[in-house]
Amino acid sequence: MIMSKEKKYHASCLRVPSNSLMLLLFIFGMTLSSTIALVSPLAGFSLHKVKLRNNDSSPYCFAATVDPTKETVDIKYNFLATQVWPSARQASFVLEKYVDRSWKVCEFGCGPALPSLVMAGLGLPKVFATDLDMVALNMVEKAANEQGFDNLVTKRVDLTAEPENILKSINADLYLMSDVFENGAVAQGAALFTIKALEAGSRVWTFAQSDRAQRDIYLKELEILGAEKYGSITWKMADLSSDNVPDEMLLLFDLDEVNVNYG
């Protein structure tokens, strides 16, 4: 399934992209799907559907784009949390093929939560989509409601908080993260969440692009915490051609955004 290659609680530091980057994200978003008439919770933004595949039956999430017709743009929110990153698409395809349909699954740092919505569409008994950003969670709830996914619930979670009570309240079989390492504190917090989840008997699948500098902090922290007893602490490319379901408790998925399937 994989072959070696050798993402209640406290506030964290949020990055806000520049106006030029937001304009580029707008153009990129428009190439994925047409903007639809939705009221966005962010002033100066509109929402568009992002599908896993370009067909009518595909599950979808919402993402935000800058609306150039608006004079006022609200940038007090974490705009990056409203975007669908390549790692989320890769995670969606991996989960679609290999996730156990009887599992309860939680996605940390979900953003628009394409992987969570895909799993909800597969009929898993319970899917938790969690993030610190309430705008992103509102977008997830809208997408889930439109698609009739009553097995998906959202929860506000900060990965820099203490993990024990959060993990106990969720009690998932699998925890998922895709490119959540927006800064060093989050990377270290994600590692602590990972080890505590593993100690509780859950699985953890983490996806991160090879050019994400903060993922090295996550990896180093896993080594310090002794995660090697649960699986190889090595980033590996997913091999979707394999029918072998992974049995490792910890899996770290590398990816090259150029080779990700964009539908």
Q: What is the mean pLDDT of residues 157-182?
A: 96
Same domain, 229 and 116: yes
The two structure tokens encoding residue 75? 């940038």
- Asked if the model's pLDDT at residue 144 lies above 90, the reply is yes
Asked if residue 100 belongs to a domain, the reply is yes
- Asked if the model's pLDDT at residue 183 lies above 50, the reply is yes
Same domain, 214 and 183: yes
Q: What confidence score (pLDDT) does residue 57 get?
A: 92
Contact call for residues 62 and 142 (beta carbons, < 8 A): yes
Q: What confidence score (pLDDT) does residue 26 get?
A: 38
Same domain, 121 and 178: yes
Asked if residue 248 belongs to a domain, the reply is yes
Range of the domain at 214: 2-7+84-259
**Strand-pair partners of 176:** 107, 205
Q: What confidence score (pLDDT) does residue 49 get?
A: 94
Q: What confidence score (pLDDT) does residue 70 get?
A: 62
Same domain, 137 and 78: no
Same domain, 36 and 163: no
CATH value at residue 205 = 3.40.50.150
Assign 27 a pLDDT band (cuts: 50, 70, 90). very low
Same domain, 233 and 158: yes
Same domain, 109 and 190: yes
Same domain, 106 and 153: yes
Q: What is the mean pLDDT of residues 140-155?
A: 97
- Asked if the model's pLDDT at residue 18 lies above 90, the reply is no
Q: What confidence score (pLDDT) does residue 186 get?
A: 96
Same domain, 209 and 95: yes
Same domain, 58 and 134: no
Assign 259 a pLDDT band (cuts: 50, 70, 90). confident
Q: What is the mean pLDDT of residues 139-163?
A: 97
Q: What confidence score (pLDDT) does residue 73 get?
A: 55
The two structure tokens encoding residue 229? 């007893």
Q: State how many domains the chain has.
A: 2
Q: Print the SS3 string covering the chain.
A: CEEECCCCCCCCCCCCCCHHHHHHHHHHHHHHCCECCCCCCCCCEEEEEEECCCCCCCCEEEEEEECCCCCCCCCCCCHHHHCCCHHHHHHHHHHHHHCCCCCEEEEECCCCCHHHHHHHHCCCCEEEEEECCHHHHHHHHHHHHHCCCCCEEEEECCCCCCHHHHHHHHCCCEEEEECCCCCHHHHHHHHHHHHHHHHCCCEEEEEEECCCCCHHHHHHHHHHHCHHHHCCCCCEEECCCCCCCCCCCEEEEEECHHHCCCC
Least confident of 24-33, 147-156, 222-231: 24-33
Q: What is the mean pLDDT of residues 114-135?
A: 96
Q: What confidence score (pLDDT) does residue 155 get?
A: 97
Contact call for residues 263 and 50 (beta carbons, < 8 A): no
Q: What confidence score (pLDDT) does residue 44 get?
A: 64
Asked if residue 190 belongs to a domain, the reply is yes
- Asked if the model's pLDDT at residue 130 lies above 90, the reply is yes
Assign 65 a pLDDT band (cuts: 50, 70, 90). confident
Q: What confidence score (pLDDT) does residue 170 get?
A: 98
- Asked if the model's pLDDT at residue 145 lies above 70, the reply is yes
Same domain, 29 and 77: yes
Q: 51, 82, 113: which is the final residue of a domain? A: 82
Assign 20 a pLDDT band (cuts: 50, 70, 90). very low
Q: What confidence score (pLDDT) does residue 261 get?
A: 82
Asked if residue 57 belongs to a domain, the reply is yes
Q: 31, 65, 82: which is the final residue of a domain? A: 82
Q: 33, 63, 82: which is the final residue of a domain? A: 82
Q: What is the mean pLDDT of residues 165-193?
A: 97
Same domain, 56 and 103: no
Assign 232 a pLDDT band (cuts: 50, 70, 90). very high
Is the overall model pTM greater than 0.75, yes or no? yes
Residue 198's CB is within 10 A of a number of other CB atoms, namely 21
